[in-house]
Structure 1
Amino acid sequence: MADRLITRPELNALERLEAFVAQARYDCAAFGTNLEWDRADWDVTTHCPRPVSKAAQKAVLYFTTHANGEAKSIEGRVPMAEPFASFIKALIRRKQESRPQGDGPLSRIINAARDLHDQLGDRGHDPVRLTHADFAAAVIAVQKRSPSARSRCWHIGQLAESISRLALNVSTGQSL
């Protein structure tokens, strides 16, 4: 990456992304003040109440790729690469702070983010470098993985669009 010239707008976007992540990491209280930010698995059970039928289960958010993504624990999962992982963590934490919700909607955002993560592999997993084509490719990847689950593909596509709007806001300095 050192051979690539970084433009002034991209540098501004990087600075805004760093500020967005730092605010979510250090100044946000969602999921508690003792949240272990660097972990790829966040146990949010005490902050995301479970339905009575699932009371014995933990609520865990996995900031991991699709590789072995069905595992019931962090064992065998592949963490998302930085700086993308921190961007998604910041997005999730800020979203929870502004409108608390259960782990289900948050997990769906992370699922959509996994496909975007994969699109950024050749660009250092840098969310500032996301393009419209990345979002389109992510939706196509979801459709290829689950061709019979059209409603799920549509929903993940909508979440990808939400992430794109937030990424655009961060890169242009607009408020979330």
Structure 2
Amino acid sequence: MKITETKIKDLFLIEPKLWRDDRGYFYESYSKKAFEEAGIYADFVQDNQSLSEKGTLRGLHAQKDPSAQGKLVRVIKGRVLDIAIDIRKNSATYGEHVIAELSGENHKMFWVPPGFLHGFVTLEDDTIFTYKVTNLYDKSSEIGVLWDDKDLGINWGISASEVILSEKDKELPRFRDFVSPF
């Protein structure tokens, strides 16, 4: 397993080692030992999975304390652009983002710790996305920012007319109006 820190401290891209043969492949999708050796300490409590059509955009979300979540995310089938935005007020990279392409083909994973907004857009139909999280979902702890906020400068790789968005995500605040709890 190759674990690489991104340009933003504490945000990691994970590439598993695949063992292939004529039957297919095998890989470790999580190793507590490997994570801790990389400085990632996570106590996972729940796994989630979503199925989405091309153009579905989920985000930008987080949960505040006492229910803040770290997320280990990956794609089982299909392809996404996955986004994490640093919302740690005292961070030198506050408001900056990292984009990772995750797919069923490349098997890459993204570690998004508490203190980051997270979202993704599906680039293929029938995309299956999984989240391994460090805290249970708590509706009263939900926070978020509007996905297409110009101040964030995110290139989602898809036109706004192609985006499928929940009603809840259409009502999120702009980044300049967002007050980070981290």
What is the TM-score normalised by the length of structure 1? 0.27
Select the structure with the greater relative contact order (CA < 8 A; seq sep ≥ 6): 2
Return the structure number with greater strand share.
2
